[in-house]
Structure 1
Amino acid sequence: MRTAAQCLLCIVVVGCKPAATSSEDATIITSSAETKAEPTGDWQWLFNGASVDAWTDKDDQAIGEQWQIIDDALVLTAAGGGAVVTKQSFTDFELELDWQIAASGNSGIFYKVAGPDSKVRSGGLEYQLLDNDNYPGHDNPVHFTAALFDIYPPELDAHLPAGSWNNTRIIVRYPHVEHWLNDKLVLQFELGSADWQKRAAQSKFAPEHVLGANEPGHIMLQDHGDRIAFRQIRIRAL
């Protein structure tokens, strides 16, 4: 689920690298040699398993100590770490990453999160991450993994169970947006369309946020209180 976030972000912020932690502290994490591979073409790393220099917290401070690098993954080990946000903003882009959620876990990947120079006010759009099989009380498809949270449900179920590594891609070519999960296109929609406007107006975000503008925005990884791991986070401009 989404947290209320009125992000006032600086683009240039001094980052902090969490202390590397032994895999003994993360029983569901397994290492991947691919994590430190160099990106090709126009891709750039947001997290390559070694550094969080591309990230800050939502208040332009060092990210919380509850975020730790464990076996080349960025892991929220306990609640209280806060959301982590990219220092850089993006307009049209392709984002790709792997994620692994704990049993009964809930989290999210936000994009188009407004910065201080944005002409619009937006807490961003949420690609939902959930243990669909065990999370209590979530029986609405607009809250399932790969949904645009509270607005569009995924059109098919491609999630792997909690403890597995899932692969996500988010493609934004304004106004077209695609959500991919484990190499399957599970959702696509048009920002600003009549259907979009109707659904957004009926969601939990209206009228507090202006969503879907053709503006640069930041990527944000949520702290929903549940253990979540991310690895091989890369992005390219489109």
Structure 2
Amino acid sequence: MKINTYKNMKYLVYLILIAFSYGMAGCAPKDTAINTLTKKEVEEGWELLFDGKSLENWKTFNGGKVTGWEIVDGVLNNSGVGSDHGGDIISKKEFQDFELYMEWKVSPESNSGIFFHVQEGIVNAIYESGPEYQLIDDKGWPTELKDSQYSGANYDMHAPQEAEVVPIDEWNKTRLIVKGPHVEHWLNGKKVVEYELWSDEWYELKENSKWKEREHYGMAKKGHIGLQDHGGLTMFRNIKIREL
């Protein structure tokens, strides 16, 4: 097996930065606790999809118990082994109209995605069903990206506008709002994508995308939330949702 020394060194440096950040987190004041809801959030109807301790709200796509994912100091890590679609996970509960919030970061040259309205049993891969909010190492990806492949994109459909990711060792903040056909992608406090499912524009974009032959892609009006295990380490925390 050919070893990419440069990439391995980048990954090692990144792990050192992560270890340092975990150490600093241990010194943080209690009011910065992750994976918790404030009293106001509870009153507004928010619920945690991840409490930092267990994966009881999640299952493997088209499968059962989650395998390969780890919880490290309250942070959910995908397998990070470099296998393509090694074990995507979905929420056990289905959602129709909702606001989803989470924080995430990727390791160098890694990418993942957040899916919604995911359906099981009718497709073999999560991306053949639910639309994808793209997560990727924008600045360090080794090959040229299409506009619709940058973080915050509706993958291969809508390119993010004026999107800015934070430095790779910091946490990005994502909001995904779905209400009927209306969808908004927010990244670090800025709305970067907005579209209408099943509109003429949406069908035209689908016809000219990799989803052209995927009849079930984006067609469901309700479904699971999904997180992708796509190759390389991606980390998630503060995953919360409220139904609209």
TM-score normalised by L of structure 2: 0.80
1:7-34 deviation line (CA, Å, top 9, x unaligned): xxxxxxxxxxxxxxxx989537534743
CA distance 1:57–1:166, shift in 2 (3 Å)? same
| Secondary structure in structure 1 of the residue aligned to 2:148 | helix
Identity of aligned residues (%): 34
Give the counterpart letter for 1:97 in structure 2: M
Alignment of 1:63 onto 2:66: yes
Alignment match, 1:93: 98
Matches within 5 A, 1:19-168: 27=19, 30=22, 31=25, 33-38=32-37, 39-40=41-42, 41-64=44-67, 66-79=68-81, 82-116=87-121, 123-168=129-174
TM-score under structure 1 length normalisation: 0.82
- 1:94 deviation in Å? 0.5
- Between Structure 1 and Structure 2, whose CA radius of gyration is higher? 2
Q: What RMSD in Å do the two structures reach over aligned CA positions?
A: 2.4
Instruction: Give 1:77 shift.
Output: 4.2
Task: Please report how far the alpha carbon of residue 171 of structure 1 lies from its aligned counterpart in structure 2 after TM superposition.
Answer: 0.1
Residues 32-81 of structure 1 show CA distances to partners (whole Å, capped at 9, x for unaligned) of: 743242352201110021121000001332111x3111121101243255
- How far off is 1:162 after superposition? 1.8
- 1:35 is paired with a residue whose SS is coil
Residues 92-148 of structure 1, C-alpha deviations (whole Å, 9 max, x = no match):
11000000110111111111111459xxx9520000001110112232110000000
| Cα distance in 2, alignment partners of residues 128 and 209 from structure 1 | 21
**Distance change in 2, residues 1:28/1:174 (3 Å):** farther
Q: For structure 1, which runs of at least 5 residues remain unmatched after alignment?
A: 1-22
* Structure 1 residue ranges (4+ consecutive) displaced by more than 4 angstroms after TM superposition: 23-26
Which of the two has greater helix per residue? Answer: 2
Q: Which runs of 5+ in 2 are unaligned?
A: 1-14
